[in-house]
């Protein structure tokens, strides 16, 4: 460890020692006794500070039995985090960058900010991901699935590249998110994917979406699309996908 690293470590330790939340944070772990953990959650919730939020977020990193206790503790941590208001945004944002699941961080953020800000936040989280193979892609897929529920000017630009994702669920939810925007400018990319896609459910999703909206596909994609359309669909003389 270099001198600079040692200085940083000492500075961090000094900060932790001064933080009122630090004495409770170590109790937010699976091995702690239920009473101690619940007491810590209550105490941290009362503090409503960024340090307390950071400690409470630890409760979303593990599951325990019985499930009813697990859910109750997570709900308590959730409510405690919300008590911090805007002070919770940065800790939640940092936690989301390394979390194995974004279900709770997304639920928290949705309560902390308005709808427009929430979608902007999801797009910010999504920007950290690429389209290449990764052993663990659950957070990326969760974000794409969440974006299906929102119509927002930035969604198409933020998600369209994931039509080329190597992960099939990521492509499926990207298609759903794009269709939800009702933006005809997404048609060329959707049509191109339809012509290349191997996944039956992705092809069906695109075909159903194009047919329902009456959007015509670019003429240059007609031949490829005609070969890959699901059996229930066909391409008419104007380039519209129609259901048989």
pLDDT digit string (tens) for 83-113?
A: 999 999 999 999 999 999 999 999 999 999 9
What is the 8-class DSSP label of residue 186?
G
pLDDT digit string (tens) for 141-151?
A: 999 999 999 99
Angstrom distance (rounded) from CA 20 to CA 222:
65
Whether residue 58 is contained in a domain is answered as: yes
The DSSP annotation for 61-97 comes to G---SSHHHHHHHHHHHHHHHHHTGGGGHHHHHHHHT
Whether residue 230 is contained in a domain is answered as: no
Q: What is the pLDDT of residue 13?
A: 55
Residue 140: pLDDT band with limits 50, 70, 90 = very high
Q: Which residues contact 103 (CB under 8 A, 6 or more apart)?
A: 142
Q: Does residue 156 have a pLDDT over 70?
A: yes
Angstrom distance (rounded) from CA 160 to CA 127:
12
Whether residue 53 is contained in a domain is answered as: yes
Q: Please state the pTM of the whole predicted model.
A: 0.88
Half-sphere exposure of residue 172: CA atoms within 13 angstroms, side-chain side: 13
User: Whole domain around residue 30: which residue ranges?
Assistant: 1-111
Whether residue 190 is contained in a domain is answered as: no
Q: What is the pLDDT of residue 123?
A: 98
**Count of C-beta atoms within a 10 Å radius of residue 198:** 9
Whether residue 237 is contained in a domain is answered as: no
**Measuring CA to CA, which residue among 224, 177, 167, 239 is closest to residue 199?**
167
Angstrom distance (rounded) from CA 228 to CA 198:
9
Whether residue 186 is contained in a domain is answered as: no
Provide the domain count of the chain: 1
What's the average model confidence in pLDDT over 48-53?
A: 97
Angstrom distance (rounded) from CA 240 to CA 186:
15
The DSSP annotation for 85-140 comes to GGGGHHHHHHHHTT-S--HHHHHHHHHHS-HHHHHHHHHHHHTT--SS--S--HHH
Contact 140/170 with Cβ under 8 angstroms? yes
Average pLDDT over the chain, rounded to whole?
A: 93
Residue 19: pLDDT band with limits 50, 70, 90 = confident
Whether residue 106 is contained in a domain is answered as: yes
pLDDT digit string (tens) for 60-77?
A: 999 999 999 999 999 999
Q: Is the N-terminal amide bond of 126 cis, ω within 30° of 0?
A: no
As given in the structure block, the two tokens for residue 162 are 């994931």
Signed CA dihedral, 142, 145, 147, 150: sign only: negative
Residue 211: pLDDT band with limits 50, 70, 90 = very high
Whether residue 231 is contained in a domain is answered as: no
């Amino acid at each position: 460890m270099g001198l600079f690293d040692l200085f940083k470590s000492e500075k961090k330790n000094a900060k932790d020692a001064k933080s009122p939340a630090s004495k409770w944070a170590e109790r937010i772990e699976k091995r702690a006794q239920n009473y101690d953990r619940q007491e810590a959650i209550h105490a941290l919730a009362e503090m409503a500070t960024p340090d307390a939020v950071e400690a409470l977020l630890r409760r979303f990193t593990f599951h325990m039995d019985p499930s009813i206790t697990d859910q109750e503790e997570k709900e308590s941590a959730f409510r405690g985090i919300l008590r911090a208001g805007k002070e919770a945004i940065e800790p939640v944002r940092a936690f989301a960058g390394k979390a194995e699941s974004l279900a709770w961080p997304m639920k928290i953020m949705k309560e902390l900010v308005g709808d427009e800000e929430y979608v902007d936040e999801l797009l910010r989280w999504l920007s950290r991901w690429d389209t290449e193979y990764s052993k663990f892609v659950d957070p990326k897929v969760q974000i794409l699935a969440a974006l299906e529920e929102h119509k927002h000017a930035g969604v198409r630009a933020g998600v369209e590249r994931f039509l080329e994702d190597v992960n099939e669920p990521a492509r499926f939810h990207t298609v759903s998110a794009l269709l939800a925007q009702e933006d005809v400018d997404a048609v060329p990319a959707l049509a191109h994917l339809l012509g290349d896609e191997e996944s039956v459910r992705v092809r069906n999703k695109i075909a159903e979406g194009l047919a329902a909206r009456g959007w015509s596909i670019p003429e240059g994609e007609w031949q490829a699309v005609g070969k890959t359309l699901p059996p229930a669909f066909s391409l008419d003389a104007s380039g519209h996908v129609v259901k048989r």
